[in-house]
Chains A and B, each alone.
Chain A
Amino acid sequence: MEKTNGNLLVKGTVFLVWAILLFAPFLFQDVRSTEVAARILVFIVLVSSYDLLIGYTGIVSFAHTMFFGLGAYGTAIALKTMGPSWSAVILGALIGLGISLVIALAVGLLSLRVKAIFFAMITLAVASVALVMASQLSGLTGGEDGITYRPPSIFKPAAKLLTDENGKVLRIFGVKMNGKIAAYYFVFFSSLILFCVMLRLVVSPIGSVLKAIRENEARAEAIGYRVVAYRTLVFCAAAAFASLIGSVYAVWLKYTGPDTVLSFAIMIDILLMVVIGGMGTMWGAVIGVVMMTLAQYYLRDLMGVVADATHNLPIVPELFDPDRWLLWLGLCFILLVYFFPTGIAGRLMAKGEPA
């Protein structure tokens, strides 16, 4: 009974999140909110594809941002060199995807036979190399500064999607139907499609094989599954999802640099989001991303409000000084892990509890 409720609660929350994201530009009409919504959309795909690895199959990889970065840089470089066009976006995304798949296949085949910890170290090494290369090949990547470029014309802020009778940009509920809206919905539908593909993947037979490998690798092999092949496949698939959403993010940001798509700080964010949300649930990724992103963007503001409201009390305003937001984020994280060791969705959706 409790199980079904938890299940419904989690799925209901996730549907609500998607509904809010669908109408986000109309619900929150400021630039920052749209940025946050787009970031959430991108990270939903990034984190749920990482969940395919760590949550479903039990593979620990530190190279997920590398694949994200390859997709982003592929698109960014293509847009920079070929000029703003759809063919640049598509070509860049395909090149990023191709390189991602080749690297994932090579790393997978060469090293997925070794123990998990060694595999994690190998991915860490490969990702470090990618980070160094991105900063050193500055002719191509812009180095630490990254690359700024223009998106396809439909996404330019001046683009008019719909016009009224005077030829001005049409407003719907006060929102201008311009390139910014087009770009947001490009991110939204890319993210939704990729997320649905992954959901489909995990409820298909291959999803249960992945879980079987996580649960008991030797037995999975003994009943006839070629474990190395499945692991390599899921590693490549996760790389592909990360790469594709990286390309989408590059189009959205109109800027690609190490800090936005490649740094280890992003890798740590991904890990935290997947742990907070609940590993191996796919739905949990959405919850983890939303909570973490909102905390990253709004915890400071919230603390500022609290500090102001309590300014005539002793100590309290000091504690809630906005500069201390990382301290509170850390505390929240510790409490979450303590009370929800299997993540929020993992805890709520726990199945088959012993009677």
Chain B
Amino acid sequence: MRAPSLSTKDLTINFGGHVAVDHVSCDFYSGELTVIVGPNGAGKTTYFNLISGQLKASSGTVIKDGEDITATAPSTRAKKGVGRAFQLTNLFPQLTVLENIRLAVQAQTGDGWRAFTPTNKLTALADKAELYLEATGLEGVAKQRAAALSHGNQRKLEVALLMAMEPDIYMFDEPTAGMSMDDAPEVLELISKLKADTRKTILLVEHKMNVVRSLADRIVVLHNGALVADGSPEQTMNSEVVREVYLGNAGVMA
């Protein structure tokens, strides 16, 4: 039996009386792309926030490669290889695209504390940033401010930031939300390439069923904060409980 790269045990958070994530226990393995689905308000993004540390769990644990990281700050988790992209665009708006990516690169290389070496002399940093600019097709807008980008390019930059962190765990939260028909396949292509190249653990929250079908190795279904199904795409999609809670509206799935 392989050891999971990431697991949550009875992970729970309640806001007042409302239990947003309810005792979710789940193991994730490297080389596996897990899609997390569920109706709106099922707790998918909250579950992500608990794993990457934006929210503190009320109870339960998050374990990365055998180490309990439940109590650590988001920056610590990021350094330990838990990388996260956000559903709502969450960039550094007044900085250029290149600066945005370089920030993610230098966080990972540990250059962030350098105070007396001009950034443009650190060529290793620039080369790596260049790599991710090209990978996400943003090299043409490298000098523009993030705030001035089109929505599609902002979403790509969001993905570029996550990739530039070079984490062990990639967490994408609806990476193609609001993207045009042209841009969305590019981003999905990136993710499937990432999966093939790196053999890292990938978690993906996604609504679009064509995406789920083409990428998922495994599907986890959340409903009202609880994990209600977990298995291969065929298994999950055909299970009785999932049909009840999620697939009641068959039109969505078609």
Contact = CB atoms under 8 A, between A and B. Distances in A.
Contacts of B95: 208, 211-212, 215
Contacts of B102: 205, 208
Contacts of B111: 205
Q: Point out which of B102, B104, B113, B125 has the most chain A C-beta atoms below 10 A from its C-beta.
A: B113
24 contacts: A200-B116, A204-B114, A204-B118, A205-B112, A205-B114, A206-B115, A208-B119, A211-B92, A215-B91, A215-B95, A216-B91, A216-B92, A216-B93, A219-B92, A219-B161, A220-B92, A221-B73, A222-B74, A222-B86, A223-B83, A223-B165, A351-B143, A351-B145, A352-B143
A205 B117 contact: yes
B80 to A, nearest CB: 9
A205 B92 contact: no
B90 interface: yes
Contacts of B144: 352, 354
Contacts of A31: none
Q: Point out which of B52, B75, B112, B144 has the most chain A C-beta atoms below 10 A from its C-beta.
A: B112
B107 A224 contact: yes
A205 B75 contact: no
A225 interface: yes
A183 interface: no
B120 interface: yes
Nearest to B149: A354
A227 interface: yes
A352 B119 contact: no
A135 B242 CA distance: 74
B11 interface: no
B108 A351 contact: no
Nearest to B52: A222
A226 B74 CA distance: 8
Nearest to A280: B94
Contacts, number: 110
Interface string A325-355: 0000000000000000000000000011110
Contacts of B122: 205
Nearest to B97: A352
Nearest to B104: A223
Nearest to B115: A206
Given A221-B75, A225-B75, A204 B92 contact: no
B120 A203 contact: yes
A290 to B, nearest CB: 26
A291 interface: no
Contacts of B239: none
B148 interface: yes
Contact of B78 (A209, A212, A222, A354): A222
A205 B73 contact: no
B90 A219 contact: yes
Nearest to A354: B148
A222 B114 CA distance: 19
Interface in B18-63: 52-54
A116 interface: no
Given A203-B119, A205-B125, A215 B94 contact: yes
B170 to A, nearest CB: 13
B224 interface: no
Closest 9 A/B residue pairs (Cβ): A224-B78, A224-B107, A352-B145, A215-B92, A354-B148, A352-B144, A206-B115, A205-B114, A221-B74
Contact of B103 (A223, A226, A351, A353): A223
A353 B148 contact: yes
Contacts of B104: 223
A219 B74 CA distance: 9
Contact of A218 (B54, B115, B119): B54
B217 to A, nearest CB: 26
Interface string B143-172: 111001000000000000100010000000
A218 B90 contact: yes
A227 B120 CA distance: 23
Nearest to B79: A224
A226 B75 contact: yes
Contacts of B96: 351-352
Interface in A157-213: 200-201, 203-209, 211-212
A223 B76 CA distance: 9
A216 B90 contact: yes
A136 B145 CA distance: 51
A221 B79 CA distance: 10
Given A203-B118, A204-B116, A352-B144, 14 more contacts: A200-B115, A201-B115, A204-B118, A205-B119, A205-B122, A206-B112, A206-B115, A208-B103, A209-B106, A218-B90, A219-B91, A222-B74, A222-B78, A223-B83
B196 to A, nearest CB: 24
B171 to A, nearest CB: 10
A205 B106 contact: yes
Contacts of B148: 352-354
A225 B103 CA distance: 9
B84 interface: yes
B183 interface: no
Contacts of B78: 221-224
Contacts of A219: 86, 90-92, 161
A284 to B, nearest CB: 15
Interface in A221-257: 221-227, 230
Interface in A267-324: none
